[in-house]
Structure formats: C-alpha cells, structure tokens
C-alpha cells in the first residue's frame, strides 16, 4: 500500500518523482494554500510603507537634533513620528490577525490546541495510550495502547474483519514482518522509500530537511511583520511546493535562507536520502539483509498465485491482511499520527483490467457524502456532497469497484463513530499519483491537526504483480479460457537491442521499456512516422527527455493469431487503513466536556458508540452492602453469559464520581443497583435513567450495545428514573 | 516470558547457567533418555564378539590359502566363516530393531513420519500455512498463514481473549515490537539470549553447535552397528546432557568426535555465542540500537506502575498481551514449531508474595489430568493423572494461583480440541529453573515430533520487576497500608564497599549483591560466625566459588521500626502461550484419513471443533439450477445475519467431491439444497445427515456451531436423511 507515501517505486513515472509527497498529513493545506489573502497583502504593503515613513520621520528628527533645532519644529516632528509609529503598530496588529485567520490559526488555533490538550491528557491519564518504555524516558514515535485503548483497537479490528473480510468473503492472510531484501527491492522500497535528511555538521543530530524549511517559512510568515508582500508570497509558494523539491533544490533553499541546526545554530550538511525501513539481518551469517516491512501489501502480492488457485482460478477476488508495519521516521511528531510502528489493515482486490464493475456496487451507489475531486482542488473550490453513483457515472471516480470501496469505507468509518461532516474523500492530483495508478482517493478525517489521511483507496493497475513477476521470474497472471478459440490481432513491438545499445548505451534499458510500454495508438503513430520519415522523436519519461529513434531500432507490426485463452496481469484496487490514525481521530470526534452538576468543574466524556466502546457497561451497587453486592454479582453473571464486556465497581466512592469515571472511559451504559428487585440503567450522553427489573437487565443492555435497539427505543418501554437521588458529580482526576 | 528459553538472565543463578536449555522441544527425551535397554546392550556385545570371531575365521581362511592348503580343510573353514557371517548379520538385524524400538523409532517412527507428511501436505496444499516469500525461494523459519489458517488463528486468539482476558478481567495492553536496547539489557536478553554457533572455517556457513553433536550421536547410534556397548552408552549420555554443556565442553566434544561441517566436510570454528535477537537501529543517527522483541512480557513489566495505578493500586491483577515476537534462529527446523517470528499470548499475574491464594481456585480444583512432576521424571516413572487440588495441597504445585492457571490452561487447550491424552503438564527439574523461580510447569502436547512445550506457566517471583526497578531507577513496587502502624524488626545488611573493593577488586559488585541477597537465616549465621571467628567462608554463586569475608567487610543487624505501610515488589505468575505451536499441534490432533466411498482413495479430514473451524458451514445446491441457487442465497443471508461464517459452492462438481473438499478444510456442517422447502445438514465426522426446513436451518446451524447444542441433540429432533443419493466421493486433490 502507499498510505502516507505514494509514488515510491515509480521509477518510470510520467510525472515528476515525488518520493515524499504523501508523507505529511497536512499536505493538502500545503499543496493548496489559500492564495495570499488580499487584505493580508495590502496590509503588508501598508506596513512596509508606513515603516518607511517612520524611518524617514525619525531621520528628520535626528537631523533636527543634530542641527540644534529645538522648539516647535522639533516638537511637531516628534509628534508626527509618534503618530506614525502608532499607525504602524496598529497596522501591525491588523496584519497579525489577518495572518492568523488566513492560517486557520488565531483564536481557532488556540482553541484547537486547548481541545487537543484536554483530550490527550484524558487519553494518557486513563491509559488509552501512553508513550512506550516511559520508565526509560521513552522512544519518540512508539506508543503503547493501555487497557481501554487496546479494547477500542480490538473492537475496531473485529468490526473491520466483519465489515470487509467476512461480508465480502475476502481471503485473509497473515505474513511475517521480517522481510528479505529481494521482496522490497522488487517493490521499490529499498531504492525509493526515503526522506531527505540533513545533519548538524558538528553534533551529528539529524533533521528532516523539509521540516526545517517548513518551520522557517511558517515562523517568518507568522512573526515577522516587516516581511514585504513579495517576500511573504515567496515563502507561501515555498510551503506550497515543499514536497516537490528535489534534494538539490531543498539544499539550495536552506542555504539561501541561512537555516542552521535549530538546537545549536551549527551549519547543516546538504540534504541526503535516508531509507525509512528498519534494517536487520536474517540468520547468523550477516549475509542476508532483511527489513521490517513498511506495509503489509507485499505479503499478499507475493502470494498471488496461490491465492488465485485457492479461489478456484477465478477473478475478481480480494485478499486482506491486518498487521504491524514499521517506518523508521527521522523525527516523529504529532503523537499517534506519525509513529515508527503501527497497525495497518490492507485489502488487495484483484480484477480483470477490462472489467472493473462490481456486483454489489448498487448497495452503496445511493450514498452521498463529502467528496473533494481533483477539479475542485485545482480551482480552489471546497469539498462538496456528491452522490457516489453520480461521481462514478460521470467518471470522476474511475470505476465501479473503486467507487464500491469508497462507499464501503464511508460506511465503515461512520459506523465507528467518525463524524460525517469531518470526513471527506479527496482525489489525488495528477502529480500526486504514480504514473501507473488509474485513480486514487484518500479518506481524510479532520481533527485538531487538520485533515488527516486515514485510508488510501487506489487503483494501482497491474504495477505490483508485474514488478514481482519480473524480479522473481514467476508469472503472477490470470487466465481467461475462451469457449472457442478466437482470432486476435496482436501488436508486436520488437526493439532491436543491438542498435539501441549502440545508440543509447546505459540508457538502453529505459528506451526499450518505453518502447514496449507504448499503447496501440502510439505504436501505430510511431510506425507510420518511421515508415515515412525513417526516424522519429520519442519521449522516454524515465529519462525525462525525447530521443531520436530510427527505423532500424524497432520493428512494429500486427499479427493475427488464434488464441484459446487470454493471459493477463490483473489490476489491483487497494484500500489501505491506518488503524492508529483512525482511532486517534475517533478519540477526538468522541471527546467532549460538560460542566459537573455543581458547575464548578468540566467533566470529560467519550461518546463512543457501543460497537467500539472499550467496556459496554458498568455495574455499581449504590451503597456498600452485601445484598446489593450479591445482586451486582448475579447481574454480572448474566452479562458474562450474554457476552457483554463490563466491570463491577464496588468502591465506596459516591455514585456521581463513579459515573464521571466511567463517562471518561466512554462506557455507554451504567447499571446502578439500588434495590434487590430492580435497577436503574443510565445512558452516558443524555444521563437519562430508566428502571428495569433485574431479570431483564442483561437483555436490555445487550439489545442496546448490540445495536438491535437504540436507547430511545428502550427508554420508551421502561419507566424513567429521576437522577436527583444520585447526584452527578466530578473528581475524575482522582482516578 | 521464558517459553523455549528459560534462564536467560539468571546471572546469579544458584544452578549452572543453562542459557539454551529450554530451547529444544525435544529436551525431555534428551534429558531423560530411557537407560540403554538390556537387550540392546547385550546384542551390541554379542555382535562385537561375533565380529571378532568372523575376523579370526577370515584370517584362518586367508592363512590356509596363503599356505596353499586346499580341499576339505579349506572348504570347512570357508563354510564356518559363512556361517559366522550369517550369524553376525542376524544379530545385526536384531540389534537394528532393538535400537529402533528403544528410540521410539522403527515402524512407529516411520508411521509418524508418514502421518506428518500427509497432514503437512494437506495443510500446505489448502493454504493453512505456506513458506513465506515462496516465489523468491522462501526464508527458513518464516511462514504465512493462508485463509483457513488465518481464520483458525484468529478464532484461537478470540477464544484466548474470551477465556483469559474477559473472564478474568485482565488488563490487556499492546506494545511495539521495536524495543530500545536498555529494556532488553535490563531483562538480560542482550547479554544472555544466545545459542552456541560454529562456522565452517572455509565457507563461513553457520551451524548450531549442539545440533551437529546431536545429529552425529543419533546417526552413530542408529546406523553404526559395530559400536561397542560402552561407546553407545557414552553417546547416549552425551545426548542426555547436551543442553548442559558449556561452550568449551561442546567444542571439545566436536573435536573429539572429529565432527566437520556437514555440507563441505571443512573444519569448524570453536563454538561461540550468537545473540538470537534481530538487531536494528532506531532513528537516523545510528546511535540508538534496538531489537525486535524476543517476547511480549517486557512491555508489561515496564508499564507495571501505570497498570497498578489503573487497577486502583490493588493486587492481585493480571495484564495480558498478544503480539509478534522474533528470534533470529541459527538454523530453524521443524516447520511451525521453530520459527523466526511468531505470535505469543502472555499473561503477567501480579500477586502479593505473601498471599498466592486465588479467589476462583475452587472452580478448577477438581480437574484431573496428566501431570509429570519432578519426582516422576527423576525416578524414571511416567506422567500420571492427578487431581489438581491434590497436587496443590501436597505442595507438588507451589501455590494456588499457579495451580489455578494450570487448570485454566488445561480447559483452554482441551476446548480448542487438543486431545486430553496427549496433553501433560511437566514440572521443570531444579536445574531447568532460574534460581529466582518458585516453580514452573510446561503444558506439553504430543505430536509427531514428540512432546512439544506449548505453554509455560512459571512463578517468576519478583525477578523482572526488580531488574527494571534497578535499571530505570523507577520503583516498580506495591503498597499495603496498615490500618494502624506496626512495629517490625528489619534485617539490615550493610556491606562496607571500600573494604570489599580492596579485597575483591572487579568481583566486588558480585560479592555485594550476594551479601545483600542473603535470607534472614543465612545472614544471622554469617553474623554469628563473624562475631565468633572474625571471618567466614561465603559462597558467591555468580563467581562460582566461595570467598573469605572478614568482620570489617559487612555489618549485619536487626532494627525495630514503626511502619505505616508495607512496600514490596510483587511476585509475578506468568502463563505464556506459543500460539503457532498450539495451532500446529491442534492441526495434527484434528487430522485423520478415511477411505473414499469406493474405497480406492484415502480422504483427509480435519475434525476441528466449531469454535476453531475456519468456516462453520458450507451451502451446496445439489445441482446447478436457478431455484436451488436462490434458496442457497437466502440461506446464506440468514447465516450472515446470525453471524455464521460460511461459503456457498455453486460449482457443478459432484456433491461427494464438494463434501470431500470441505472435510479437508475442517468445516463442521454442510447444507445441501435439494428442494425448495427443506434442506439436508451433514455433519463432517459422522457423515450423518438430517432434514431441516429452510426456515429453521440458520438457527440449527447456529445452535451447533455456538456450542449450545451438540450434533447428537439436533440429530434427535430432526428426521435422518439417507446419504445414498449424494454419494460421498473423492478428488480432494483437484482443488
């Protein structure tokens, strides 16, 4: 999969090689920055002018003083200077707020930051996740899921398996993380899976080159009000094209701006590529290099032949894998969003390239949700609600199967509890996609860090299977037997390697590949030109230039043949899920604060749907006595029998505090034992309570947490219970 | 966990350091070999004598010929020689079969081998598991689970989570595989997690030193009939003590027997330790070494403080983790049983060392199963059925909590489908255990490779938490608040480091540690001796010798103090599950062959219980027609709604072939659509069929596969269907 790192391995891309383009979740803002706001630009100009006026007036004052002039003339000049300075300050303030609002920053940024802090504090305090190896001061980019986080993760994965693997009859596999070099050489990761790095020339500390440039530009834009409008525009442009910069260009910019190591101010080395795979050695000899897989997809591709056979030699079929993947980030940031080890869930759906229809497409065709097609992005328009069937029929989405998966991903994410309004499907721009990709859409979720790429859904055509076919020599192909032999006209392109070798030396291979990759139309055009003129200009994208091809270098013809079957490399459509990112966004979308009953404190709540809630329900005896505890235990038995994860809390803490603790873990329902015949059930978000007899309680909880009924359904059937007796309180921080 | 690798990190063991002792699943046979059978020994002696007689007679014949003697004298000598040779051959045959039967070999070994071949062929052909990266010729010790294997694995893990985590309210965590060096330094893995290796001195090929010695001894014993009884006994002894040999001893034996590199016959290097962890580097600097974790337990230990807090600062509690672990084996063998990457499921149950009772102990106390206590192993007796409560009350099993987990593991394994008769709990011998361990039992499952250690259940006392407390400086301790202050007498051992440093130089640290580790009794003895004689011999196990301690080197006293709370390091009881090993044994225990209907072929069946079966049921329209297919689809919808994993097979293949294919995947039930109102349900092992109306079919399947009813229960409620119409057939190999 290419999640967060498209276009590794596109050696022969028709587009510029953008090795790191997709590695930043914020790239959308960067790639399509709002053009500098008119107000900001004119304020910058006004400020520059005003500052010039201030300087001129200050010169005048100094001049007057030097000449010994005093009295009214000097006083008036000083007053004018003061007035100009005040005006400049005032323009400065207006500029500052214009910058903040353009940035989506300002008050919004402050409150987003505060919201994130509150959520993250709760998440870490309640052990949803914590930095790994904390007692040894941790390792950047490695996190543990504690008990509630681990339960949420396991619920998300169980639902993923249900929603995709079981409902679609996918072939799930489970491959090792340790991967020999040859596999990742074939996939392109060994050569191309890199980030550009610079080193502090004295201390050796490493930095991501693009991060330093980005931080410099952002800080300048935000804090340096003396920046001219032109300079500001230039920095904004740099931010926009940051991901497209070559190693040399990036190095030149760092030099031009005089950027040094942030910690020491020492000079920096030139940028150079750092491979993001964790390297190791397989076996004791030290002669078999291996890597920790950077994605799970390759395990599926190398097994294609066996899986196709397992599926009765029939297409289409999908294989799936859930597992750990590893990326040795240079400097991980943003908590769970950019980590060195993470869980991926990937699907490789293999189809006949000539038929990308999907039998279940109509089940999702009527869905309507936020989409952000290429067109809208390039013309500066916002994402908009589109009906999936319209997007597919108009060709905005390349084909039915791709559309089907976009719809299924939408259903998956919203059922988990992702807010529909903060979820969009963004199409890759032409220069973001590998040359072989037919189309590519990311499910992006908005959180306090911006729009985060959480699922990538790409039609990767036949690229991966071809790469492994070539490297391994094992044909990873499908067969379609014809009911009777067919006469077909086949295009034969036969490069004459000897002639090409003489003409192009080291570049021969690239020319040969480009010739062989021609479409029928292209080939026939070239053939015509060669026949009429004897030579032709031919564009070789991997060389980045056109070369002159003469008649003796290639023979192009069409032959008629009888064929009994069609042999072809299937296309693959790949939905790839970053599970940790989805979970983090889910945490943010579920988190809110509400005042305690006394109003003196803000209480934290996670409004997880029952499907993902770490525990479905808690059982609280209202006061500590043996009778109530017996009842609580018998209810617990009933819940266990019904397969409902729950917890009994028999501490003497006030019921209000116990509710508050449980809300903070996102537990949907709480059963309070306040009699020996019936109990109350409280719903987390409404805080409403109903009274239910002890015999029925397990089945009511099951109904709601299994999703057969809503809370509103059961609330209607049972008497309401007034909450006054059991004051909602606070003190979450105590535990 | 110490599964397959006990006593790494027991730097100060009171027993010899047996770093690799537990790494071979066959160690039990090796450690307790049947003493050489009397028959074998006397046959070896008889053969040696007979061979001497043959040689003498041959000399006589040669002598007669040389002297020109012919006629009757020569003829009779030749006849005698022939007779002697025949006798020698006959003794040879008897010896051969005696060796085989002692070995558990002979016909048994042949049939075990054939059984394994049949099972493994089926497993690989149906993609239960396959060698990873096959198209690149694979990597030893790495396997993929294909679709049915992956489903079995995910069922086993789901049941593990249900049986342990949910039913016991354990705190599940999920930590990264990439681990910084400091953590594994503290645990002892960096220094001690090694196997002894030798290198081909010319080609550099690496071998496990103990494997070469073992192979040599076994081959000699099996094939060299001229071996004297003494020599044979020696080789058997070597096999028995193989795991206890030091690097030097192992090297000496290899030299003594003239063992060379098996492939090239080149000389070998001396044995040297090879660390079994996959090493890597975290971050770009190359200055932060890391390893892929060799077990998941350390992730729990380093989080003890947070988890204890999460549990309300109360003991006991258990934490659990399921995840990948990695061991860079020198030369992996035995398929899924010895691999370089595997899934572990580990539990760390933290208890007060003064109270190892368990509240739910009585729920398992009455279980009775095969146990193999130390006593039985050392006196050459077999494993025997013991009631758990008896083993605990007699002290055979050290404490209730350990006993509770042994019982729970027994229930877990047998519910998965492991044969009770081929499951035993074997206690570690004193020299197998680390010095700190209180007691240790392995759940061993018998398969074609012998008795395989699949779960280790150890009381590791406070070792792990202490090691991390020391290294990190963060106290990993528990507190017990007293209701009122208590007066306690405390032992104070204060080594005088200056004096000890002068006396012992580099060994000072070991002496200090040994002094501080003294029990109260030991300390008071030493104190007495120092006071009366001024010096004392003191055994320092980490130095492997006794040293002389004088009065000025240590002060030992007892002080009275008032204490408000007790601060202590909890003990940990650790059940650790090798999931891949359990699954492989489950495959073997479930596999059998039965003749096809025609009797012309053997058909393969996996008799998985529904709990672990990869698919619960298949749906077959008897013949290809639209009506039946519609019925099949509507049944499929009902099954999906009931959450039952299933597959429709609408190929035109004969019903018998389809049954055979499905038996080979271990699918418990098959629904055959042979009318539009009712269908038949066939049970895999009995091949019995019942007729059930279409409306009821999903609920009947659910009842049986959920385990609410047995097949016998439902068979009694519905009419039987004769199988004659739908002949059981064969042809599994076609797919």
Q: Over the stretch A233-243, which tens digit does the pLDDT of each residue have? A: 888 888 888 87
Is there a contact between B285 and A205 if contact means CB atoms under 8 Å apart? yes
HEC string for A155-187? HHHHHHHHHHHHCCCCEECECCCEEEHHHHHHC
Q: Assess if residue B626 is contained within a domain.
A: yes
pLDDT of residue B45: 87
pLDDT of residue B5: 38
Same domain, A210 and A174: no
Please tell me whether residue A730 adopts helix, strand or coil conformation: coil
Is there a contact between A176 and B206 if contact means CB atoms under 8 Å apart? no
Verify cis geometry, omega within 30 degrees of 0, for the bond prior to B589. Answer: no
Domain that residue B98 falls in: 38-104
Same domain, A458 and A587: yes
Say whether pLDDT at A22 is over 90: no
Confirm if B321 and B300 have CB atoms less than 8 A apart. Answer: yes
Q: Which residues in chain B have their CB less than 8 angstroms from residue A330's CB?
A: 283-284
Q: Provide the CATH number for the domain around residue A305.
A: 3.30.930.10
Q: Assess if residue A233 is contained within a domain.
A: yes
Is there a contact between B299 and A171 if contact means CB atoms under 8 Å apart? no
Question: Which of A275, A306, A336 is the last residue in one of the domains?
Answer: A275
Q: What is the DSSP string of B688-734?
A: -EEEEETTTHHHHHHHHHTTSS-HHHHHHHS-EE-GGGG-----GGG
Same domain, A313 and A457: yes
Is there a contact between A306 and B127 if contact means CB atoms under 8 Å apart? yes
The alpha-carbon gap from B412 to the nearest alpha carbon of chain A, in Å, equals: 17
Q: Assess if residue B94 is contained within a domain.
A: yes
Nearest CA to B149 among B175, B111, B119?
B119
The sign of the dihedral angle between the CA atoms of A10, A15, A20, A23 is negative
Q: Which residues in chain A have their CB less than 8 angstroms from residue B359's CB?
A: none
pLDDT (tens digit per residue) in A560-587? 888 899 999 999 999 999 999 999 999 9
pLDDT of residue B467: 95
Same domain, A350 and A434: yes
Rounded Cα distance between B123 and B121, Å, is: 5
Query: Which is it for strands B368-372 and B423-427: parallel, antiparallel or unpaired?
Result: parallel
Query: Which is it for strands B341-351 and B554-568: parallel, antiparallel or unpaired?
Result: unpaired
Rounded Cα distance between B108 and B104, Å, is: 7
Q: What is the mean pLDDT of residues A44-71?
A: 89
Confirm if B140 and B331 have CB atoms less than 8 A apart. Answer: yes
The alpha-carbon gap from A599 to the nearest alpha carbon of chain B, in Å, equals: 27
Same domain, A320 and A453: yes
Determine the residue among A130, A176, A277, A299 to mutate to test chain B binding: the one whose Cβ has the most chain B Cβ atoms within 10 Å: A176
The alpha-carbon gap from A298 to the nearest alpha carbon of chain B, in Å, equals: 9
Give the number of other Cβ atoms within 10 Å of residue B29's Cβ: 16
pLDDT of residue B733: 46
pLDDT of residue A34: 43
Rounded Cα distance between B596 and B660, Å, is: 9
pLDDT band at A102 (very low <50, low <70, confident <90, very high): low
Say whether pLDDT at B252 is over 60: yes
Confirm if B516 and B499 have CB atoms less than 8 A apart. Answer: no
Same domain, A369 and A452: yes
Rounded Cα distance between B516 and B503, Å, is: 17
Is any Cβ of chain B less than 8 angstroms from the Cβ of A306? yes
pLDDT band at A539 (very low <50, low <70, confident <90, very high): confident
Q: What percent of chain A has pLDDT over 70?
A: 92
Q: Provide the CATH number for the domain around residue B519.
A: 3.30.720.200
List for chain B the helix, strand, coil content (%; round to 5).
45, 25, 30
pLDDT (tens digit per residue) in B521-555? 888 888 888 989 988 888 887 787 888 999 899 98
pLDDT (tens digit per residue) in A595-614? 988 888 889 999 999 999 99
Determine the residue among B157, B283, B465, B474 to mutate to test chain A binding: the one whose Cβ has the most chain A Cβ atoms within 10 Å: B283
Which residues between 243 and 282 in chain A have a beta carbon less than 8 angstroms from any beta carbon of chain B?
Answer: 274, 278-282
Same domain, A446 and A337: yes
Phi, psi of A448 (to 5 degrees): -65, -15
Say whether pLDDT at B265 is over 60: yes
Say whether pLDDT at B417 is over 80: yes
Is there a contact between B283 and A328 if contact means CB atoms under 8 Å apart? yes
> How many domains are there within chain B?
3
Nearest CA to B573 among B471, B456, B478?
B456
The alpha-carbon gap from B645 to the nearest alpha carbon of chain A, in Å, equals: 7
Select from A144, A278, A468 the Cβ nearest to the Cβ of B135.
A468
Higher pLDDT: B244 or B649? It is B649
The 8-class DSSP code of residue B174 comes to B
pLDDT of residue A437: 87
pLDDT (tens digit per residue) in B72-116? 888 998 999 999 998 888 888 888 877 766 655 556 667 888 999
pLDDT of residue B13: 30
Q: Assess if residue A9 is contained within a domain.
A: no
Q: What is the mean pLDDT of residues B179-208?
A: 92
pLDDT of residue A470: 93
Rounded Cα distance between B439 and A210, Å, is: 56
Q: Find the closest chain B residue to A313 by CA distance.
A: B735
Say whether pLDDT at A558 is over 90: no
Q: What is the mean pLDDT of residues B39-56?
A: 87
Say whether pLDDT at A435 is over 80: no
Number of Cα atoms under 13 Å in the Cβ half of residue A163: 20
Helices (H), strands (E): how many in chain A? Answer: 24, 29
Same domain, B607 and B726: yes
Phi, psi of B62 (to 5 degrees): -55, -45
Say whether pLDDT at B724 is over 80: no
Say whether pLDDT at A553 is over 70: yes
Q: Provide the CATH number for the domain around residue B684.
A: 3.40.50.800
Confirm if A203 and A266 have CB atoms less than 8 A apart. Answer: yes
Which residues between 371 and 430 in chain B have a beta carbon less than 8 angstroms from any beta carbon of chain A?
Answer: none
- Stretch among A86-90, A130-134, A170-174, B348-352 having the lowest mean pLDDT: A86-90
pLDDT band at B388 (very low <50, low <70, confident <90, very high): very high
Q: Assess if residue B524 is contained within a domain.
A: yes
pLDDT (tens digit per residue) in A620-675? 999 888 999 999 999 999 998 888 999 998 888 889 999 999 999 999 999 999 99
HEC string for B597-657? CCCCCEEEEECCCCCCCCCCEEEEECCCCHHHHHHHHHHHHHHHHCCCCEEECCCCCCHHH
Q: Find the closest chain B residue to A306 by CA distance.
A: B127
Integer CA distances (angstroms), A486 to A220, A482, A491, A568, in order: 67, 7, 15, 16
Distance of alpha carbon B150 from the chain centroid: 21
Residues in chain B: 735
Integer CA distances (angstroms), B728 to A141, B682, B695, in order: 57, 11, 26
Rounded Cα distance between A344 and B392, Å, is: 45
Q: Assess if residue A436 is contained within a domain.
A: yes
Q: Which residues in chain B have their CB less than 8 angstroms from residue A324's CB?
A: 177, 324
Is any Cβ of chain B less than 8 angstroms from the Cβ of A335? no
Strands (E), B367-464: 368-372, 384-387, 423-427, 439-447, 450-459
pLDDT (tens digit per residue) in B454-488? 999 999 999 999 999 999 999 999 999 998 998 88
Same domain, A504 and A636: no
Same domain, A588 and A647: no
Is any Cβ of chain A less than 8 angstroms from the Cβ of B468? yes
pLDDT of residue B435: 77
Question: Which of A247, A275, A303 is the last residue in one of the domains?
Answer: A275
Query: Which is it for strands A535-540 and A545-550: parallel, antiparallel or unpaired?
Result: antiparallel
Structure tokens at B409: 């593991």
Q: Find the closest chain A residue to B173 by CA distance.
A: A146
Structure tokens at B660: 């055979």
Structure tokens at A126: 């309640």
Same domain, A282 and A265: no
Same domain, A293 and A419: yes
The sign of the dihedral angle between the CA atoms of B613, B614, B616, B621 is negative
Distance of alpha carbon B169 from the chain centroid: 26
pLDDT of residue A401: 97
Say whether pLDDT at A67 is over 70: yes
Mean pLDDT of chain B: 88
Q: Assess if residue B446 is contained within a domain.
A: no
Rounded Cα distance between A193 and A5, Å, is: 8
Which residues between 662 and 721 in chain A have a beta carbon less than 8 angstroms from any beta carbon of chain B?
Answer: none
Is there a contact between A330 and B283 if contact means CB atoms under 8 Å apart? yes
Q: What percent of chain B has pLDDT over 70?
A: 92
Query: Which is it for strands B289-292 and B279-281: parallel, antiparallel or unpaired?
Result: antiparallel
Q: Assess if residue A601 is contained within a domain.
A: no
The alpha-carbon gap from A460 to the nearest alpha carbon of chain B, in Å, equals: 21
Q: Find the closest chain A residue to B136 by CA distance.
A: A472
């Amino acid at each position: 999969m290419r999640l967060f790192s498209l276009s590794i391995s596109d050696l022969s891309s028709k587009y510029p090689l953008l090795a790191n383009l997709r590695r930043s979740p914020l790239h959308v803002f960067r790639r399509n920055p709002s053009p500098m706001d008119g107000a900001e630009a004119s304020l910058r100009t006004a400020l520059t002018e005003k500052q010039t006026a201030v300087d001129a007036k200050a010169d005048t004052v100094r001049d007057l003083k030097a000449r010994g002039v005093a009295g009214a003339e000097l006083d008036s000049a000083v007053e004018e200077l003061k007035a100009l300075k005040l005006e400049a300050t005032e323009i400065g303030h207006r500029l500052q707020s214009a910058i903040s609002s353009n940035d989506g920053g300002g008050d919004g940024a402050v409150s987003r930051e505060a919201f994130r802090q509150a959520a993250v504090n709760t998440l870490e305090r309640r052990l949803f996740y914590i930095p790994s190896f904390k007692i040894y001061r941790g390792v950047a980019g490695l996190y543990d899921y504690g008990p509630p986080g681990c339960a949420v993760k396991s619920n998300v994965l169980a639902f993923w398996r249900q929603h995709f693997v079981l409902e679609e009859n996918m072939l799930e596999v489970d491959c090792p993380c340790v991967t020999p070099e040859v596999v990742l050489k074939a996939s392109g990761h060994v050569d191309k899976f890199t980030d550009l790095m610079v080193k502090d020339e004295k201390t050796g500390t490493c930095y991501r080159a693009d991060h330093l440039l980005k931080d410099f530009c952002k800080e300048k834009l935000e804090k340096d009000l003396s920046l001219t409008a032109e300079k500001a525009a230039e920095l904004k442009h740099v931010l926009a094209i940051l991901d497209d910069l070559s190693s040399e260009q990036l190095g030149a910019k760092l030099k031009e701006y005089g950027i040094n190591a942030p910690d020491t101010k020492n000079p920096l080395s030139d940028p150079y590529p750092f491979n993001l795979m964790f390297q190791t050695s397989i076996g004791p000899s030290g002669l078999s290099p291996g890597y920790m897989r950077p994605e799970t997809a390759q395990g599926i591709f190398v097994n294609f032949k066996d899986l196709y056979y397992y599926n009765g030699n029939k297409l289409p079929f999908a294989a799936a894998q859930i597992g750990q993947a590893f990326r040795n980030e240079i400097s991980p940031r943003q908590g769970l969003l950019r980590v060195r080890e993470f869980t991926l869930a990937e699907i490789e759906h293999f189809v006949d390239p000539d038929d990308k229809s999907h039998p279940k497409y109509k089940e999702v065709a009527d869905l309507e949700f936020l989409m952000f097609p290429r067109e809208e992005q390039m013309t500066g328009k916002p994402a908009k609600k589109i009906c999936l069937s319209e997007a597919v029929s108009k060709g905005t989405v390349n084909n039915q199967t791709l559309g089907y998966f976009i719809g299924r991903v939408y259903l998956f994410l919203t059922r988990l509890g992702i807010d529909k309004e903060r979820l969009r499907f963004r199409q890759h721009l032409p220069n973001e996609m590998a040359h072989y990709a037919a189309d590519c859409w990311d499910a992006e979720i908005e959180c306090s860090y911006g729009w985060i790429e959480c699922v990538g859904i790409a039609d990767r055509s036949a690229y991966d299977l071809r790469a492994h076919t070539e490297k391994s020599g094992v044909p990873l192909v499908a067969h379609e037997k014809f009911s009777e032999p067919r006469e077909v006209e086949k295009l034969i392109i036969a490069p004459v390697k000897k002639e090409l070798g003489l003409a192009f030396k080291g570049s021969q291979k690239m020319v040969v590949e480009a010739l062989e990759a021609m479409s029928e139309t292209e080939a026939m055009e070239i053939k015509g030109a060669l026949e009429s003129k004897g030579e032709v200009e031919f564009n070789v994208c991997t060389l980045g230039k056109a070369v002159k091809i003469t008649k003796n270098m290639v023979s192009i013809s069409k032959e008629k043949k009888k064929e009994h079957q069609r042999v072809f490399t299937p296309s693959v459509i790949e939905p790839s899920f970053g599970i940790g990112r989805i979970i983090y966004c889910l945490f943010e979308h579920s988190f809110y604060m509400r005042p305690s009953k006394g109003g003196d404190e803000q209480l934290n709540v996670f409004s997880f749907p029952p499907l993902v809630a770490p525990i479905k329900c808690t059982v609280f005896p209202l006061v500590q006595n043996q009778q109530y505890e017996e009842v609580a235990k018998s209810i617990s038995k009933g819940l266990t029998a019904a397969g409902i994860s729950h917890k009994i809390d028999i501490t003497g803490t006030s019921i209000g505090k116990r509710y508050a603790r449980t809300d903070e873990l996102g537990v949907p329902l709480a059963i309070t034992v306040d009699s020996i015949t019936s109990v109350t059930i409280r719903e987390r978000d409404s805080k409403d309570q109903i009274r239910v007899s002890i015999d029925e309680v397990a089945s009511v909880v099951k109904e709601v947490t299994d999703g057969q009924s809503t809370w509103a359904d059961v609330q209607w059937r049972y008497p309401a219970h007034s909450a006054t007796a059991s004051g909602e309180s606070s003190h979450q921080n105590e535990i």
